């Protein structure tokens, strides 16, 4: 690459921050999320960290460090619990308030609150959300389970907090007191002003509501855009982020549609074949330097516990409708990637085998050894806390029928050659396509090699905005770390 660009995932490839809430404070974009560990065994095993970027340069990310440790919560003195998806809001007093829940093995279901004088912390534990009598919301008899809190201060100063999750399968209906709820807070940011009330329908109560097939599961995220309230959430389908819309912040929400699916499945169209293995999804909308973006996450390493943040530009129509967008490799780049130079394969946005007809869970049992996936060499890595060289992520377990897609590039001149850097026991060819329904534009022959080896091939790619698909035909399996586009 001859110039700095923004990719998906937008953070360094060794960083695993899912469940992101993006917020612009001043002239910087901050992303707050939970924090997975590479090759982790549970969700959110690491402490909260923060990254930020100038709003006018979303390729220039700065690591802000650890902003809140799990052991700061008095309920987790031994650090044997996880910090789940948070949200941050600037309070009326000018301080920043972080709301979060701990994993549901704790016994106390309350929403924690931490506070800081700066967006990127450090945050200090403040309290748990309580009622006027001091009881913890979530611990009282009859309370629904708090989950994935989202916080919003409206133009009239009312402070809203959204929370909850629902059953994902019929057999889970009615098992626990779970629901989508909203409540309001006093100006102290701790005490509820109004009791939690149900908001979006969950599975088992959606008939006739318009939410059928896309019922609320988890991951509440709230924004007010041009006078309308948008509640983004993860549906019972897991891989998709949907939105509900209302003219009021606490009632009358109607189903809006799907904003994004990290499988690239578009409901109601012929785009039903998944192009990625899937898992849960979580994210939010933010207005950045004149454009709206949806933030979401993808799954790596054949697991649910090594998730990475991605983002895509979205369009909001005059009537409030948000059109579904596809996953790309260039989400925050303000346009396609430059069609020349060297690119890492971890920016792949479609990764599957042509035998994958239905969505496959990102899990060793579900995937087996059949599908390609993303991995890195070495252990989990955190900047400023390691003398090691940062690990590089790459595609592994590439076998016959693998398709690795990258969208989009702008080719200003005709492309004549592509180089692929691979290793492994494979012998075959990477067929290059710009459109999977049209003829190939070239191929790269690869041979067995125990170390990273470069193989070149001739291509004929005409100028224009195009995808690149690497489709493998041959024997054996290999790792694929980067490719270079030559004019």
Confidence class for position 106, pLDDT limits 50, 70, 90: low
Q: Which of 45, 64, 87, 218 is catalytic?
A: 218
185, 324: one domain: yes
Confidence class for position 384, pLDDT limits 50, 70, 90: confident
407 in Cβ contact with 349 (< 8 Å): yes
Give the separation between CA 284 and CA 309, rounded to whole angstroms.
11
Among residues 312, 334, 356, which one ends one of the domains? Answer: 334
Confidence class for position 3, pLDDT limits 50, 70, 90: low
Mean pLDDT over residues 170-180, rounded?
81
Question: What are the tokens at 179?
Answer: 């629901």
Give the separation between CA 244 and CA 258, rounded to whole angstroms.
9
107, 176: one domain: yes
394, 289: one domain: no
311, 345: one domain: no
199, 330: one domain: yes
Domain for residue 16, yes or no?
no
* Domains held by the chain: number: 2
88, 181: one domain: yes
CATH number at residue 364: 2.60.120.260
317, 364: one domain: no
pLDDT tens-digit readout, 23-34: 999 999 999 999
Domain for residue 6, yes or no?
no
296 in Cβ contact with 280 (< 8 Å): no
Domain for residue 343, yes or no?
yes
Question: What are the tokens at 455?
Answer: 């193989």
CA angle 234, 238, 241 (to 5 degrees): 35
350, 231: one domain: no
Domain for residue 3, yes or no?
no
CATH number at residue 66: 2.115.10.20
Domain holding 414, by residue range, is 339-486
Report whether the peptide linkage leading into residue 84 is cis, meaning its omega lies within 30 degrees of zero: no
| Average pLDDT in the chain | 95
173, 155: one domain: yes
* 364: helix, strand or coil: helix
Q: Which of 76-90, 305-319, 404-418 has the lowest mean pLDDT?
A: 76-90
Burial class (CB in 10 A: 0-12, 13-18, 19+), 208: exposed
Q: What is the pLDDT of residue 107?
A: 59
CA angle 91, 44, 86 (to 5 degrees): 15
Domain for residue 464, yes or no?
yes
For residue 19, indicate whether it is catalytic.
yes
160, 91: one domain: yes
Mean pLDDT over residues 145-164, rounded?
97
360 in Cβ contact with 29 (< 8 Å): no
pTM exceeding the 0.95 threshold for the entire prediction: yes
Domain for residue 11, yes or no?
no
Residue 186: closest CA among 144, 127, 244: 127
Give the separation between CA 305 and CA 317, rounded to whole angstroms.
35
Among residues 299, 334, 369, which one ends one of the domains? Answer: 334
What element of type H or E holds 367? helix 364-367
360, 323: one domain: no
Domain for residue 118, yes or no?
yes
* 157: helix, strand or coil: coil
CA angle 127, 130, 134 (to 5 degrees): 100
**Which is more confidently placed, 251 or 357?**
251
For residue 127, indicate whether it is catalytic.
no
| Predicted confidence (pLDDT) at residue 1 exceeds the cutoff of 50 | no
pLDDT tens-digit readout, 186-216: 999 999 999 999 999 999 999 999 999 999 9
Domain for residue 12, yes or no?
no
What element of type H or E holds 97? strand 96-100
Q: Which of 15, 19, 45, 73 is catalytic?
A: 19
Give the separation between CA 22 and CA 311, rounded to whole angstroms.
10
Among residues 318, 334, 350, which one ends one of the domains? Answer: 334
What residues contact residue 183 under an 8 Å CB cut-off, 6+ apart?
137, 160, 161, 163, 192, 193, 194, 195, 196, 197
266, 198: one domain: yes
């Amino acid at each position: 690459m001859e110039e700095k660009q923004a990719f998906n995932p937008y953070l360094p490839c060794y960083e695993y921050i899912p469940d992101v809430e993006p917020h612009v404070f001043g002239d910087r974009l901050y992303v707050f999320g939970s924090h997975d560990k590479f090759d982790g065994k549970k969700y959110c095993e690491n402490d909260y960290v923060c990254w930020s970027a100038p709003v006018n340069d979303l390729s220039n990310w700065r690591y802000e460090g650890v902003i809140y440790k799990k052991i700061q919560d008095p309920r987790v003195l031994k650090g044997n619990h996880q910090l789940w998806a948070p949200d941050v809001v600037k309070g009326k007093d000018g301080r920043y308030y972080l709301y979060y829940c701990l994993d549901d093995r704790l016994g106390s279901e309350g929403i924690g609150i931490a506070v800081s004088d700066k967006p990127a912390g450090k945050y200090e534990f403040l309290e748990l959300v309580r009622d006027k009598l001091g009881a913890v919301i979530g611990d009282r008899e009859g309370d629904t389970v708090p989950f994935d809190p989202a916080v919003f201060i409206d133009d009239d100063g009312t402070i809203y907090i959204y929370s909850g999750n629902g059953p994902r399968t019929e057999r889970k209906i009615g098992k626990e007191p779970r629901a989508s709820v909203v409540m309001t807070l006093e100006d102290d940011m701790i005490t509820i002003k109004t009791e939690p009330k149900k908001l979006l329908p969950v599975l088992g109560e959606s008939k006739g509501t318009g939410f059928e097939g896309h019922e609320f599961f988890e991951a509440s995220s709230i924004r007010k855009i041009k006078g309308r309230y948008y509640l983004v959430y993860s549906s019972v389908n897991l891989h998709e982020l949907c939105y509900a819309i209302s003219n009021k912040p606490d009632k009358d929400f109607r189903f809006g549609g799907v904003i994004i699916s990290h499988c690239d499945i578009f409901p109601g169209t012929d785009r039903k074949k998944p192009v990625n293995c899937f898992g849960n999804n979580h994210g939010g909308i933010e207005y950045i330097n004149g454009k709206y973006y949806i933030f979401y996450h993808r799954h790596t390493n054949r697991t649910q516990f090594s998730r990475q943040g991605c983002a895509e530009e979205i369009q909001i129509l005059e009537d409030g409708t948000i059109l579904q967008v596809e996953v790309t490799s260039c989400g925050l780049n303000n346009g396609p990637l430059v069609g020349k130079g060297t690119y890492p394969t971890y920016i792949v946005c479609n990764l599957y085998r042509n035998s994958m007809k239905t969505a496959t869970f990102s899990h060793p049992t579900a995937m087996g050894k059949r599908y390609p996936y993303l991995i890195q060499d070495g252990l989990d890595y955190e900047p400023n806390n390691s003398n090691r060289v940062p690990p590089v992520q790459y595609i592994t377990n590439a076998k016959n029928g693998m398709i690795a897609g990258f969208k989009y590039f702008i080719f200003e001149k005709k492309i004549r050659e592509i180089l692929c850097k691979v290793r492994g026991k494979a012998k075959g060819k990477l067929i290059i396509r710009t459109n999977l329904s049209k003829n190939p534009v070239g191929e790269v022959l690869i041979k067995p090699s125990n170390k990273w080896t470069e193989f070149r091939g001739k291509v004929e790619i005409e100028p224009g905005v195009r995808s690149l698909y690497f489709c493998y035909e041959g024997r054996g399996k290999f790792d694929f770390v980067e490719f270079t586009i030559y004019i």
